[in-house]
């Protein structure tokens, strides 16, 4: 079986912790193995408000805030057409200034940008993790599981009127129907910062900048030692760097706090196998099989093998099983479209490409699927003309 590694990232899921460490165990780091420390980012840099952001607030928000509710003015700027015109883009996790300049970002980037603008307006901010279903994606042999965060805006910090739930406004960058019905839990700003740093660690690792990834993961743990996902990310980085025993220690530490976490179980089992500790790994594999008989991407990987073997009908069945498990992941629909195309079923390929396009999370993927769709429709037109 080809080894794969799982990282928590993107909109940053929270790991449940049995106990909350006030500081990370010092033996988890191995700075000497990664050379000269590389720059990450300070909280001030992550939340920095640029001159362009200040000008936007002055020109579009402040005049309304003087005569109206400043929270509502910011809410309208974020949601109404013709104002900020934000786009969802999961290509990378941007800081507040970068998200504003791009007018795009994943949910964490857009939360950071909104919080920075709100603070500039002197509004109280509360971050929240939303208990949605896990969402999986991949980059090569790295697999990512992402969660979701949003924030609420309260009254101005100088308004000493006590807590007033009626005065809170929730800012969420999921469509209302997608976020409805999920429970939210408040999280402190140090956790939001650790999420950002953990995401950057995962993204730089996916880009094969492994030394930079280490310093981001290290920064995430120091920012919030209670944020369990960063220990898992650190373990993946150690393993990719060849520090197998360091990886094992990181995964074991993470698993102590989340004993039923399937991706940490899998990562620890792989590390034990690489160290030749097969009996210990076997125990974890058996535990993992009970918790997760069919891991994410199981049917997708089988479908890809069927495609290589030319068994396109079997590939359709397998891709469809993966779509049934996660109907919102674009790559599953794209795979199904490819299988239908090979079978000459252009109408069904068209349908799946539309779904891939609608569920794409980056501009590059959107452009790719749009081009593929245009090609299929040109071929359909040729068939009709014959």
At 166, is the pLDDT very low, low, confident or very high (cuts 50, 70, 90)? low
- Tell me how far apart the alpha carbons of residues 31 and 214 are, in angstroms, rounded to a whole number: 9
**Is the pLDDT reported for residue 259 higher than 60?**
yes
Least confident interval from 9-13, 79-83, 121-125: 9-13
The encoded tokens of residue 238 equal 């150690």
pLDDT of 134? 75
pLDDT of 81? 55
**Is the pLDDT reported for residue 120 higher than 80?**
yes
What b/e string do you get for 198-231 counting C-beta neighbours within 10 Å, with b at 16 or more? bbbbbbbbbeeebebbbbbbbbbbebbbbbbbbb
Least confident interval from 19-33, 34-48, 230-244, 332-346: 19-33
- Tell me how far apart the alpha carbons of residues 169 and 31 are, in angstroms, rounded to a whole number: 43
Who contacts 319 (Cβ-Cβ below 8 Å, separation ≥6)? Answer: 299, 300, 303, 332, 335, 336, 339
- Tell me how far apart the alpha carbons of residues 86 and 105 are, in angstroms, rounded to a whole number: 8
Question: Is residue 74 within 8 Å of 117, Cβ to Cβ?
Answer: yes
Torsion of CA 229, 230, 233, 237, to 10 degrees: -170
At 75, is the pLDDT very low, low, confident or very high (cuts 50, 70, 90)? confident
CA-to-CA dists, residue 156 to 100, 125, 133, angstroms: 22, 9, 33
Average pLDDT for 195-202: 96
Q: Which residues pair with 149 in a beta bridge?
A: 129
**Is the pLDDT reported for residue 95 higher than 80?**
yes
The residue ranking higher by pLDDT, 223 or 18, is 223
pLDDT of 361? 80
Average predicted confidence (pLDDT) for the chain: 86
Q: What are phi and psi of 359, to 5 degrees?
A: -100, 5
**Is the pLDDT reported for residue 36 higher than 80?**
yes
* Domains of the chain, each with CATH number or no CATH: 42-187 (3.10.620), 189-296 (1.25.40.10), 298-385 (1.25.40.10)
Query: Could you read off the pLDDT of 278-295 as tens digits, one per residue?
Result: 999 999 999 999 999 998
At 86, is the pLDDT very low, low, confident or very high (cuts 50, 70, 90)? confident
Who contacts 240 (Cβ-Cβ below 8 Å, separation ≥6)? Answer: 5, 205, 210
- Tell me how far apart the alpha carbons of residues 149 and 172 are, in angstroms, rounded to a whole number: 8
- Tell me how far apart the alpha carbons of residues 171 and 148 are, in angstroms, rounded to a whole number: 12
At 30, is the pLDDT very low, low, confident or very high (cuts 50, 70, 90)? very high
**Is the pLDDT reported for residue 18 higher than 50?**
no
For 27, the enclosing helix (H) or strand (E) is none
Q: Which of 380, 360, 379 is nearest to 370 (CA)?
A: 360
**Is the pLDDT reported for residue 310 higher than 50?**
yes
């Amino acid at each position: 079986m080809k080894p794969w590694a799982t990282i928590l990232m993107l909109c940053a899921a929270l790991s449940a912790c049995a106990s909350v460490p006030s500081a990370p165990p010092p033996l988890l780091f191995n700075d000497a193995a990664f050379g000269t420390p590389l720059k990450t980012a300070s909280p001030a840099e992550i939340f920095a408000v640029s001159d362009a952001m200040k000008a936007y607030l002055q020109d579009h928000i402040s005049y309304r805030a003087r005569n109206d509710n400043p929270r509502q003015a910011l809410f309208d700027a974020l949601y109404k057409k013709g104002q900020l015109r934000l786009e969802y883009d999961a290509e990378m996790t941007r800081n507040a200034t970068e998200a504003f300049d791009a007018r795009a970002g994943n949910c964490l980037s857009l939360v950071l940008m909104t919080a920075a603008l709100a603070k500039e307006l002197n509004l109280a901010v509360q971050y929240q993790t939303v208990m949605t279903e896990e969402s999986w994606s991949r980059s090569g042999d790295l697999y990512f599981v992402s969660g979701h965060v949003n924030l609420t805006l309260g009254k101005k910090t100088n308004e000493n009127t006590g807590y007033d739930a009626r005065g809170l406004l929730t800012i969420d960058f999921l469509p209302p129907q997608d976020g409805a019905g999920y429970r939210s839990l408040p999280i402190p700003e140090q956790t939001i910062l650790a999420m950002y740093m953990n995401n950057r660690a995962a993204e730089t690792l996916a880009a094969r900048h492994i030394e930079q990834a280490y310093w981001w993961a290290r920064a995430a743990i120091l920012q919030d030692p209670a944020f369990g996902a960063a220990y898992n990310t650190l373990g993946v980085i150690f393993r990719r760097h060849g520090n197998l025993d360091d990886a094992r220690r990181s995964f074991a530490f993470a698993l102590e706090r989340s004993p039923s976490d399937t991706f940490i179980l899998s990562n620890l089992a792989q590390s034990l196998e690489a160290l030749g500790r097969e009996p210990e790994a076997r125990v974890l594999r058996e535990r993992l099989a009970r918790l997760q008989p069919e891991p994410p991407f199981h049917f997708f990987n089988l479908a890809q093998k069927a495609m290589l073997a030319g068994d396109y009908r079997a590939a359709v069945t397998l891709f469809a099983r993966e779509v049934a498990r996660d109907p919102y992941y674009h790559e599953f629909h794209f795979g199904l479209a490819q299988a239908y195309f090979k079978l000459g079923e252009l109408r069904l390929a068209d349908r799946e490409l539309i779904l891939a396009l609608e569920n794409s999370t980056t501009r590059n993927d959107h452009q790719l699927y749009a081009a593929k769709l245009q090609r299929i429709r040109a071929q359909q037109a040729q068939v009709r003309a014959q």
